[in-house]
Structure 1
């Protein structure tokens, strides 16, 4: 299960992921304090055993030294959805912005598409060159926190409006953190999914049958190369009765990547076959399929990911985005988001 031959291209995972994929057991010990799970039934039971903790969520973990209030989280979800829908209706930026190293080129392109109307201090919050530097991040956070804004500023996103409208310093600092996290989660996830799909489609992507159903292509990409390839749960007594391998002090790692590739659940599991989704009206209800998590702990942006990825993929194909290198075998490094790395050019 370590590599997947997808028509004319192959993906090669980092050694840690290869070791996980080589395991036969669906419940196994990773180290003295961590248990891995890829059993479909047990994964569902673990997620249902207790509510997800704020520290286990990438977006809603505490910020500025305090918990994120529920109403603030709700406002963020609504604002992000509003911004994503409004932004995707605008004409896409020039296609040349898609050229370069993926998935980073896709992330930058999507940010320009959806959030380019925000004032400079706010737009800098999610720039890759800024987020990679702790010092720059702190400076930009401070500038965005003090940005006064104006109620009638044209082009400003609803997320930026949450920063301007915050009533006190803590609310504003948290709104800044939520802007960065929400935009990063959305743009990074969509770019990773789109890049993975482009790689899996291979050189045959320009054939009419390849473009007939981009939604099915994206669902199959989510099965074979799910960007959110692992869910993590802190240990506790809630899990000990579910399996004898799990002790109260054990953290639990859930692996959709392993489950999605297991022959007990899927026919020809390593083959890229978008046609397997033909006639499937609700892919998320497919057995042993967890692209966005289970009920009660699903990704808060799941309703945005696939439509935006389809839009971005359409622009990439219309712009004749092609892989410049590598041509046959690409690396998938060990990162929080599972994404194929390749260089792309436009109109080749």
Structure 2
């Protein structure tokens, strides 16, 4: 079982993994993590690091090379458009029964979103987005081979998602292999990220019905504040090189650089009452992403490819949870945040509808 360390957060007890807790306890904004990694949470230096060079394909979770080749730009663009089409279609359709949100979060929410958005895809394509499949390299290879001989004859079929159609219309083994990889990565990244954000928001809103009622007045503000205090994308990693040497005395040519929105968003130099969950701080802010020292989806040139989908879909999922009186069930109001690529609280939930 993973070790944890306790840390307070808005009256709740959040138990962070020790390495995250160690980061949160640091006062310096530029610090050495180990012999080859420097951590940065200073706003101006983060901007300089991001602007120093374009993000590499190997530094992107979705667009890293697949099927033995780089992902072409036009293929990446088609994937973004297809996923956006599928999300917008999903938001317009009735959600699945709320009982699908019962159980351990964020996993229950991830499965719920995949059912909501991608259940129309035929087997074996829909298996590409199943958590039990994606966690097993052996099962993933079997499903990949099965998808290789799909689809059924004929043109585009009704019911399948635009993302699945990318696989069906691919020509050649490499393009098809990349389309399969992009389907798996895109669905996982979107659903996991939205589930984490929604779960973090539910936790920060608290169990009090009156507090939830007040927060419901502006759910986007709730989500922007959640992205500040508990951002799922809590760290960005950059491979070292000449581009970063000279930006700061602590950063050497051979050093990798870890950027920490989680820390920057909690600095009192940048935020009044930084540890307080205050959605009202976003009232009247026309474009939250232009707020100084705020990096919910990265900076220009390296922003999350699905940022325009995350908040609307999380708002829809949060609305379903609140409409069905989803109750957070944890002992003594304590939740855990393990060391994972996505920062997400862990709790059990039960629908009251």
Q: Counterpart of 1:82 in 2: which secondary structure?
A: helix
Where do residues 1-348 of structure 1 align in structure 2 (5 Å cutoff)? 3-7=7-11, 9-149=12-152, 150-205=154-209, 207-347=212-352
Measured against aligned partners, the alpha-carbon deviations of 1:296-333 in whole angstroms (never above 9, x if no partner) come to: 11001000000000000000000110012234110100
TM-score (normalizing by structure 1): 0.97
**Separation of aligned partners in 1, 2:142 and 2:93:** 31
265-274 or 47-56, which moves further after superposition?
Answer: 265-274
Q: Counterpart of 2:213 in 1: which secondary structure?
A: coil
**Separation of aligned partners in 2, 1:169 and 1:141:** 12
Measured against aligned partners, the alpha-carbon deviations of 1:173-197 in whole angstroms (never above 9, x if no partner) come to: 1000000000111100000000000
Q: Counterpart of 2:215 in 1: which secondary structure?
A: coil
TM-score (normalizing by structure 2): 0.96
Counterpart contact for 1:166–1:172, Cα < 8 Å = yes
**Separation of aligned partners in 2, 1:160 and 1:205:** 40
Q: RMSD between aligned alpha carbons?
A: 1.3
* CA-CA distance at 1:205 after TM superposition: 4.5
142-151 or 216-225, which moves further after superposition?
Answer: 142-151
Counterpart contact for 1:205–1:211, Cα < 8 Å = no
Q: Counterpart of 2:217 in 1: which secondary structure?
A: coil
**Separation of aligned partners in 2, 1:18 and 1:250:** 23
**Separation of aligned partners in 2, 1:268 and 1:3:** 17
Stretches of structure 1 lacking an aligned partner (at least 5 in a row):
none
**Separation of aligned partners in 1, 2:96 and 2:213:** 25
**Separation of aligned partners in 2, 1:217 and 1:326:** 24
Q: Counterpart of 1:238 in 2: which secondary structure?
A: coil
Q: Counterpart of 1:209 in 2: which secondary structure?
A: helix
Stretches of structure 2 lacking an aligned partner (at least 5 in a row):
1-5
- Kindly tell me the number of residue pairs found equivalent between the two proteins: 347
Measured against aligned partners, the alpha-carbon deviations of 1:173-231 in whole angstroms (never above 9, x if no partner) come to: 10000000001111000000000000110112555312111111000000000000000
Q: Counterpart of 2:352 in 1: which secondary structure?
A: coil
Counterpart contact for 1:326–1:343, Cα < 8 Å = no
Measured against aligned partners, the alpha-carbon deviations of 1:78-116 in whole angstroms (never above 9, x if no partner) come to: 100011101111100011000000000001101111111
* CA-CA distance at 1:3 after TM superposition: 2.9
311-320 or 141-150, which moves further after superposition?
Answer: 141-150
